[in-house]
């Protein structure tokens, strides 16, 4: 656990997802600024934030807890993307890469959690 959170693939991928979510939500209607746009952005920001905070903790158990929170935010993102799709704010073409990134995030987080639990 000596490496910086900035060196973690999970954090780097999560930062990429945040950027893509911000770009996608720029297209949402203005009246959604304090609704779905804000909710989706907050969930996206929560993923790398929890990864960073967990990596800075003193134990693998604490790190796993924060990775679990990141995993929860990731499924929030997927749910909110589905809502955005259902409302017509995102087309299949726009949302597909976001779903793929979110799924990849899930696999990476699951792998990191499993590796920390094996090492404990």
Task: Give the residue extent of every domain in the chain.
Answer: 5-119
pLDDT tens digits, one per residue of 5-57: 999 999 999 999 999 999 999 999 999 999 999 999 999 999 999 999 999 99
Compute φ and ψ for 4, nearest 5 degrees.
-75, 150
The tokens describing 63, both together, are 């790190």
Q: What is the pLDDT of residue 56?
A: 94
Say yes or no: domain 5-119 is CATH 3.40.50.300: no
Vertex 98 angle, CA 103 and 34, to 5°: 115
């Amino acid at each position: 656990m000596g490496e910086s959170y900035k060196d973690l693939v999970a954090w780097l991928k999560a930062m990429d997802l945040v950027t893509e979510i911000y770009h996608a939500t720029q297209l949402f209607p203005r009246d959604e600024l304090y609704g779905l746009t804000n909710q989706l952005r907050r969930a996206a920001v929560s993923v790398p934030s929890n990864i960073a905070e967990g990596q800075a903790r003193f134990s693998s158990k604490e790190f796993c807890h924060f990775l679990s929170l990141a995993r929860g935010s990731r499924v929030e993102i997927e749910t909110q993307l589905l809502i955005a799709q259902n409302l017509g704010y995102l087309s299949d073409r726009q949302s597909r890469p976001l779903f793929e990134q979110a799924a990849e995030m899930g696999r990476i987080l699951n792998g990191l959690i499993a590796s920390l639990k094996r090492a404990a």
